[in-house]
Amino acid sequence: MTPSPLPHAEPQIPEGLPEHSLSVVVPMYNEAENVEPLLERIDLALGPYPWPWEVVLVDDGSSDATPAELERCAKKFGPHVRVVELARNFKQTAAMQAGIDAARGSVIVTMDGDLQNDPIDIPRMVGRLLGEDLDLVAGWRKDRQDGLLLRKIPSRIANRLIARLTGVHLRDYGCSLKVFRASAIKNVRLYGEMHRFIPAWLATVTTPRRIAQEVVTHHPRVFGQSKYGISRTFRVILDLVFVYFFMRFRTRPGHFFGGIGIALGALGGLILTYLAALKIFLGESIGTRPLLFGGFFLFIAGVQMVTTGVLAELLTRIYYESGISRSYLAREMPALADDEAWHQPTAVETIETSKAAEQA
């Protein structure tokens, strides 16, 4: 048994929480040493929780002992710990989507499996989500326990750039500890490496006013190795371009490509008109001028961009009229009834919760 490396802290359950069910989704890849300490910490944080909760652990095609450790710990901690096993390594975004699809709670929590996120923060974040009628409460690692040069500085630059382009102003987009209203997050599909842009994606189905952030605890990594490096900065920039396009022109891509096409075509047309005037009225030779080739190619590029916009509009119609395919392949799990495999509060906790609700 691996002892928990996290400091002991007493869970703080907010009073007067409205009725709900809670699902904690944890994608894991080669985190064998962290499985049991993580579940112990979740059990400590949510053991006295007054409403039903479950843990959905997603094995993202691990190549170490993580799958066996997940199965062992699921049996040890009880049926409320469920394991989703992906057929291969689909990366964190697809694993997170698989966990969200499998989650049955009306409130869904996502967090990393490396013990850097602390489950102790979950009840407080859920209390704010439900108390303030929000759709997302995102964690803010104010005292981040990571390297300055390779992790903190690129992250700060990316956070400011993302906030500026998307209009969703958060201080920490990269924190995986987030609490969602299930009715909101299940309307968003995650692909590629878009997990760090979840608040921006959520803003496509809800207003940014229903998105908030909360300071959370962040621990240094004790077991295993980080799956991120400086190369992710370049991927973030490319993903951000796509997010910006999707948020602004998802339902009207023809305006994006068509606008560029009209600008290029107009510039090319002006150049060709100028050269034609020189040829017709002044009799100058224009056949060998570089400007002729520039104007010609600008005009052709404009036509191509406009036709690309038309094709993009057609693809958009097909996308919205067809079913949405999944970004992962998971092994089959046994079907569960809505009231099965939850961690239920004890009788004493239920009575105390009922009394608190009556007094409120």
Task: Say if residue 327's pLDDT is above 90.
Answer: no
By the 8 A CB rule, do 96 and 189 touch?
A: no
Predicted local confidence at residue 7, as pLDDT? 62
Residue 7 DSSP code: P
Judge if 257 and 204 occupy the same domain.
Answer: no
Q: Is residue 119 part of a domain?
A: yes
Q: How is residue 207 written in tokens?
A: 């207003």
What stretches of the chain adopt beta strand conformation (E)? 22-28, 53-59, 81-85, 107-110, 136-140, 178-181, 211-215
pLDDT average, residue stretch 314-336? 72
d(CA 150, CA 36): 29
Q: Is residue 275 part of a domain?
A: yes
Structural domain includes residue 31: yes
Same domain, 222 and 305: no
Helices (H) and strands (E) in the chain, counts: 11, 7
Report if residue 205 sits inside a domain: yes
Is residue 210 situated within a structural domain?
Answer: yes
Please check whether residues 216 and 317 belong to one and the same domain. Answer: no
Range 332-338 contact pairs with CB under 8 angstroms and sequence separation of 24 or more: 333/82, 333/84, 333/102, 336/104, 338/104
Distances (CA, A) of 17 to 55, 185, 217, 229: 20, 21, 22, 40
Question: In this structure, are 87 and 162 located in the same domain?
Answer: yes
Answer with the one of 193, 222, 249 that is the final residue of a domain: 249
Residue 196, amino acid:
R
pLDDT at position 4 is 58
pLDDT at 125 (0 to 100): 96
Q: Are residues 195 and 308 in the same domain?
A: no
Domain final residue, candidates 207, 225, 249: 249
Q: What is the pLDDT of residues 112-170, one digit of tens each?
A: 998 889 999 999 999 999 999 999 999 988 877 655 665 666 667 777 777 777 778 88
Q: Quick one: 215 and 69 in the same domain?
A: yes
User: Phi first, then psi: what are they for 343, rounded to 5°?
Assistant: -80, 110
CA separation for the pair 77, 60 (Å, rounded):
21
Predicted pLDDT of residue 177:
95
Please give the residue that has the higher pLDDT: either 317 or 45.
Answer: 45
Give the residue, 66 or 320, on which the prediction is more confident.
66
CATH number for position 201: 3.90.550.10
**Quick check: 314 pLDDT over 70?**
yes
**Is 360 contained in some domain?**
no
CB-based contacts of 98: which residues, under 8 Å, 6+ apart?
27, 58, 84, 86, 90, 328, 330
Instruction: Quote the CA–CA distance of 177 and 101 in Å, as a whole number.
Output: 17
Residue 159 belongs to some domain of the structure: yes
Residues 208, 163 share a domain: yes
Q: What is the rounded CA–CA span in Å between residue 282 and residue 306?
A: 34
One domain for residues 207 and 294: no
How far apart CA 219 and CA 146 sit, in angstroms, is: 9
Same domain? For 243 and 289 the reply is: no
Structural domain boundaries enclosing 290: 253-321
d(C-alpha 341, C-alpha 67), whole Å:
20
Total domains, the chain? 2
The reply to whether 129 and 260 lie within a common domain is: no
Pair 167, 285 in one domain: no
CA–CA gap between residue 342 and residue 52 (Å, rounded): 6
228, 271: one domain: no
Q: Is residue 201 part of a domain?
A: yes
Q: Whole-model pTM?
A: 0.76
Angle at 13 between CA 342 and CA 20, to 5 degrees: 40
Q: Which two tokens stand for residue 357?
A: 């609700």
Q: Are 80 and 55 in contact (CB under 8 A)?
A: yes
Q: In this model, does residue 273 exceed pLDDT 90? A: yes
Question: Among residues 249, 275, 309, which one ends one of the domains?
Answer: 249
- Separation CA 166–CA 142 (nearest Å): 21
Question: Stretch 324-335: mean pLDDT, rounded?
Answer: 72
Within 10 Å of residue 306's Cβ, how many Cβ atoms? 18
Give the pLDDT band (50/70/90) at residue 198: confident
Query: Hey, how many other C-beta atoms are within 10 angstroms of the C-beta on 77?
Result: 16
- pLDDT score, position 264: 95
Give the mean pLDDT of 39-48. 93
Q: Is 328 left (phi over 0), alpha (psi -120 to 50) or beta?
A: beta
Q: Among 75, 63, 80, 76, which Cα is nearest to 28's?
A: 63
